[in-house]
Amino acid sequence: MQLLFAQPLITTSSAHLVSLGLCAAYVGSLYLSKNARIKFSHGHAKGSLNGPNGYDERGRDHPDVIRARLVAVSIATVLCCLGVFGVIFYHIGADWKNLGIATKATALRLGLHLSFSSSTIDVLPHLVVPFLFFGPLFASYLGGQLPGQRYWTWQRNVAERFFGIMGLRTYWVGPITEEIVFRACVLSVYHLSGASRYRMIFLGPLTFGLAHVHHAWETFNRYGRNVAAAKRAIFSSIFQFAYTTLFGFLASFLFLRTGSIFPPITAHIFCNTIGVPELTWELRRYPKQKKAIIIAYLIGIAGFVYTLLPWTKTNDNFYWAQDGDPRHSSAKY
């Protein structure tokens, strides 16, 4: 039996249920453990949930909560991968002789391999997103904040930022586990149902956006549990849902286009590092370089559009078979 199958293994309805189950498993893991749950005191109007403010409260940035959640999402990610394996193993025949096939088929669909070109690791797919952020990078250059510049230090900008407890969550465990679950696992399940690549790109990331909505509860509690706090929680959740979904479109494209989970992971880490572009603030901070900043943003957008397809083209990728590939006209799942 081959690692690719001639017919879809599951129905679209089953794919929806499995993807929602994967999302629920990941987000639910944040609340199963007592140590991972956030805690609010009654009567608290407003303030930090993580510092010595006189209240027995623990927000999502509390070190103990972060540590517990890192363990929780790591376990959940492994279970989600096993869930995809279970779907494949069950539908090709739950027989021990098919164990090796199911394992290899799962690893293939999860993109747990580096992409290669001419016997070297292909770095171009990892550079597409940094190109898009050429404008913010130029603004950082103006502020002397890039490596080697006057306001950049190894201790503050690397050691403390990336290897402290919050850095482990924001730049390592978070991006890696989220991409494996919400990109590799969710999209592989939809692919097993015969979903088109366009449906996977534009519908699959909705679960990723929904997975961030639960932060609204902490926002509501942090800012006073009143009407103003509710409005703040709603608007912040809408904004977070919007930009995480938009990023999900791009990350899904990178995953399907390359057949590897690593370009989405590096893109996620890079975006978390740079943050949401703040063009208006940058223009106010550097008024003498307004034209240069705008040009840098336009260069980044144009470069991103120009490089997106050629730099992400990957041979022997069943998710996105190229013209001339015999699989291009014959779907495999």
In 10 A of CB 197, how many CB atoms? 17
Of the residues 57, 62, 126, 178, only one is catalytic, namely: 178
Which residues are within 8 A (CB) of 180 and not within 5 positions of it... i.e. 6 or more apart?
A: 77, 80, 81, 110, 261
Of the residues 16, 44, 91, 212, only one is catalytic, namely: 212
Q: How far is CA 252 from CA 67, 111, 266, 283, in A?
A: 28, 12, 13, 32
Q: Which of 8, 257, 15 is nearest to 126 (CA)?
A: 257
The structure tokens 């509501």 sit at 220
Q: Give 20-31 as a DSSP string.
A: HHHHHHHHHHHH
Give the three-state DSSP class for 52: coil
Please, is 332 exposed, middle or buried when counting C-beta atoms within 10 Å of its C-beta (0-12, 13-18, 19+)?
middle
**φ, ψ at 278 (rounded to 5°):** -125, 70
Q: Which residues pair with 120 in a beta bridge?
A: 117
Q: Give 99-145 as a DSSP string.
A: HHHHHHHHHHHTT-S--EETTEE--GGGTHHHHHTHHHHHHHHHTT-
Please, is 26 exposed, middle or buried when counting C-beta atoms within 10 Å of its C-beta (0-12, 13-18, 19+)?
buried
Tell me, what DSSP letter sits at residue 212?
T
Q: Is 214 a catalytic residue?
A: no
Tell me, what DSSP letter sits at residue 321?
P
Q: Is 212 a catalytic residue?
A: yes
Instruction: Provide the angle, in degrees to the nearest 10, between the axes of the packed helices 12-32 and 63-91.
Output: 150
Active site residues: 178, 212
